[in-house]
Amino acid sequence: MVLTLALLAAIALVWCLTAIVEKIRHGLSTAQAVLYAPFKLAYRISDARIGIARGAQAPVIYVVSHQSRLDPALTLSLLPDDTLHILDPVSAKSVWLEPWRELARTIAFNAEHVFVSRRLVRVLKGRGRLAVYIPEAVEPDIRSFRLYRAVIRIAMQADARIVPIFIGGAQALPFQMDGKAPAPRRWFPRLSVSVLEPMTAPELVARNGSPAASNANALFDRMAEARLATTEPDLTLFQAVRDAAELFGPGRVVVEDATGSRLSYRTLLAGARILGTRFAKLAKPGEAVGVMLPNTSGAVLSLLGLASAGQVAALVNYTSGPANVTAALRTAAIHTVISSRVFVEKAGLADVVQAVEAAGAKLLWLEDLQAGISGLDKAAAALLWRYPLHRQKAEKPAVILFTSGSEGAPKAAVLSHRNLIANAMQAEARVTITTSDIALNVLPMFHSFGLTAGTILPLVTGMRLFLYPSPLHYKLIPEVARRLKPTVMFGTDTFLAQYARTASDGDFSSLRFVVAGAEAVKPETRRVWRERFHTAIIEGYGLTEAAPVAAVNTAIHNREGTVGRLLPGMRMRIEPVEGVAEGGRLFLSGPNVMLGYMTAERPGELQPLADGWQDTGDIVKVDREGFITITGRAARFAKIAGEMVSLGAIEMLVQSLWPEERHAVVAVPDRRRGERIVLVTTATQADATSLRRLGKQAGIAELAVPGDIVKVAEIPVLGSGKTDYVATRDLAVERLNAGSAA
């Protein structure tokens, strides 16, 4: 009895002391502090930014992303007590919530009428405060999205500031709004209260320099930024995967590959630690180590092993040819390359191995490393799998990726741990992902899309990831999909079109959606996948320098012919381009934009971005709702008789004429006009007369219509699936010189 009383007294003392501290820290009322204290203790709440909400000048609307039944209790405890809270019907009547409802004024939520009520506008105009709870959804339905429109309309009528609030970690609570937790349920997860700075509706809309932008979209984007702000900014790649292991369960199988390997989070991180101990003996922390492996569990283990050892993984594009491999290794000052004898033999990469050695790098074979693993190594890794071998800061380099080289020599882009994790979380804040999803990734990790979207995103969000070693196995990949039944897939238009040609109708029927990037998705590809597999292709946009995803379409924000809208946390700037009447050259900034380049002139030396803005080299136009349309590449404009001509636009025109074939439009030197446009195509029926007729119908100047046609069996492509315009141009010049053009 005495022990019980002592325990109760200790609990009461801790409760009281916590309430006193929180009352002083945040200026809470006594009742608020007393009712907030148990939450603070149970959920170790990070609440440093709540002062922004409490200090916001009225009139103000607090927009709370409503995930769990605990959210109203928390916000009633923390927001100023003169706030009017609009609660959902369950919270408005819940018996257990009664003590918290006494802390401030509350009214019941009425989805049909409450937001059109003049009463709310009058409350705000009287220097009032309003808390609105919007159901949390990465891709809200039409009814939920109407709430964004209503809130922004009231804010504009009352000239009120908007403060977004998101409670990070609440998605793991068992008290979900719909009764279903998107992650494994945990009774006492650590919570963090994300609060963004107050902004008026016009300020929200004008942030990207587009005063005509959609108001509702501006608020939706701001709420996505609040969600993103709960991501721990100081996590390295290894730590982010470890945190995912603790959230989703160490025993959860997370990586599988075509060899039959199946790795749980615990096995994956333990294996990475073992490899990391070997890597640490061969290179210093911060040093770049090459990785030349296909999509297998060994590649993921090597990536995380290097992250554990504090080294930088330089992902070598072994499909780019010996000369490019040699140049890449020298540019990044790489002295060691991790590879596999079995892979090199099966892929026929003897010439690439010679290129690695010619660059002065030593090959480290995974087979040799695995053979030297002892029982003691395994035991130590099993105990210490949660801990990296070397402490490293998130802002330090994590990977080096080499740009595709589709229009010139590849460049070495250096991405930090923060860049990679931020980009994965930006995508997770925009596209609905659950732990029941199965991701099929056929894109190689040396391709930034295959690395971040296809590998890191599943690892940190709990998706089951299946890695297939090559995207070029057009007949085998549909069979894999039929057996695996993936729900999410990543690809490029080139690869998706090829899979559709060889697949049976039911092979991809399990897919919820396909995320496509790297090149424009052709209408024909989209149509085939929709009609045959009942699968939507979600088109996005990215570049290696942005880790790579910068914009994406979603279920509710989807406009065919565009690459979607910017990810949360990103900003864009559009600069005028000579000869381009609408739109301009796109510049990007954000947490996912790279640290800088390494160049052949200054090998191994990071050259940071001067002002944090990345020149994408893309010519774009943006509509009032923020959808981005790529109209061309700055490097893919030709100057014909003094006129600027977009080769990309001509390519799309040709595609509409022969949609089932593949085409590439290039410019070659011309003595009279400076340059002339050539069509390289797989369409055997292509003829100049049809092109001229189509150009005339489209209102395109005759000088912009290709006068020469080069017919080929296949258009040259890179390992990433992009058209290889350098090789295509060389092919066109060769055929023209030989007199074999049409």
Helix and strand totals (H; E) in the chain: 27, 33
* Separation of CA 692 from chain center: 41
Token pair for residue 598?
Answer: 């390494």
Give me 471's structure tokens: 């995207």
How many other CB atoms sit within 10 Å of the CB of residue 483?
10
Task: Give me 426's structure tokens.
Answer: 């930006």
Q: How many CB atoms lie within 10 A of CB 545?
A: 27
Separation of first and last alpha carbons in the chain? 99
- Over its C-alpha atoms, the chain yields an Rg (Å, rounded) of 28
**Which residues share a beta bridge with 201?**
none
Q: Could you tell me which of 398, 478, 394, 399 has the C-alpha nearest to residue 440?
A: 478
Which of 478, 498, 475 lies closest to 489, judged by CA?
478
The single residue listed with the structure tokens 């693993």 is: 373
Q: By three-state DSSP, how is residue 258 classified? A: coil
- Measured CA to CA in angstroms, residue 597 lies from 80, 602, 724 at distances of 48, 10, 22
Q: Residues 26, 66, 447, 663: which is the catalytic one?
A: 66
Contact 470, 294 (CB under 8 A): yes
Tokens (6 digits) for 220: 């939706």
Cα–Cα distance, 443 to 719 (Å, whole number): 9
CB 410 within 8 A of CB 404: yes
The answer to whether the beta carbons of residues 541 and 547 sit under 8 Å apart is no
Is 447 catalytic? The answer is: no
**DSSP type of residue 544:** G
Interatomic CA distance for residues 696 and 126, integer angstroms: 62
Q: Which residues make beta-bridge pairs with 591?
A: none
The 10 Å Cβ neighbour count of residue 110 is: 12
Residue 475 burial class via C-beta count within 10 angstroms: exposed 0-12, middle 13-18, buried 19 and up? exposed
Cis peptide before 659 (omega within 30 of 0): no
CA 143 to chain centre: 26
Structure tokens at 92: 């408005």
Rounded-to-integer distance, Cα 204 and Cα 216, Å: 10
Q: 């909400």: which residue's tokens?
A: 53
Which residue from 634, 622, 632, 630 is spatially nearest to 208, judged by alpha carbons? 622
Sequence-separated contacts (24+) of 6-14 with Cβ below 8 Å: 14/41
CB burial string 271-304: b at 16+ within 10 A, e below: bbbbbbbbbbeebeeebbbbbbbbbbbbbbbbbb
Three-state secondary structure readout of 185-233: CCCCCCCEEEECCCEEHHHHHHHHCCCCCCHHHHHHHHHHHHHHCCCCC
| Cβ proximity of 195 and 135 under 8 Å | no
Tally of CA atoms within 13 A in the half-sphere of 723 that contains its CB:
21
**Which sequence positions are flagged as catalytic?**
66
